[in-house]
Structure 1
Amino acid sequence: MHMLHDPADPAAAPIAFDDFLKVDIRAGRIIRVDAFPEARKPAFKLTIDFGPGIGIKRSSAQVCGLYTPEALDGRMVAAVVNFPPRQIGKFMSEVLTLGFPDTAGNVVLFAPDSDVPLGARLF
């Protein structure tokens, strides 16, 4: 959630459908939220359960503007699960939790509007 774009920007260049299929976006449930005081921008360390196929993964998420740890715990989210892990300070972020910027630039998490099985893949 580091690439913020202007909503007025035109769509990105066309890609092949096969390229879209390479991005593995799965549904998960946040099972733990930890403070991340050493992050350069305010963030939480999220522990997310993606079910038996993917397992439990961790993510750094800059969602402090709109969410408290209590509001995040148990919440469903969507994340890219097949990017290489990324070192953020001393923390290894294993998945990219997805969201959209609101008009103030706060991240609004992207999630299914009702429960789906953990690990369900976006198509």
Structure 2
Amino acid sequence: MDRSDFRLRSLLLQVDRDLTDAERQKLCFLIGCNDVPRRYLDVIAKDNSASMTNIWETLFDRRKITVNNVNYLIERLDKIQRLDLAELLRNYCPLPFSLSTEPSTETKNQTEQRTNISDLFSRTDP
């Protein structure tokens, strides 16, 4: 496990700890059965103190979240009004990703310029 993967998994444990029981259930509802098997979602519904680790692991396996893109989770945390946790994950993510599904109107020159600028910065862990 590389350092960024470890850091993201640590943040997900923090998110799990900081969610209330009601928020955990809302988050599982928003994640839904298409992305995580129902049996994992049902565990949270039946036992509020259950860990979300199986859910996080499934989201990793299905590439819904990766070390470079956690927008899937950020969007759902925003919907349940946990803006603090969403911001925590936004601060983790090394590059800005658009949550929009509309195609970008950015020109090729703008894309190259943004890429060159982002190459100047590398994320360092404290």
TM-score class, shorter: under 0.3
Q: TM-score w.r.t. structure 1 length?
A: 0.23
Higher helix fraction (1 or 2): 2
Structure 2 length-normalised TM? 0.23
Larger strand proportion, structure 1 or 2? 1
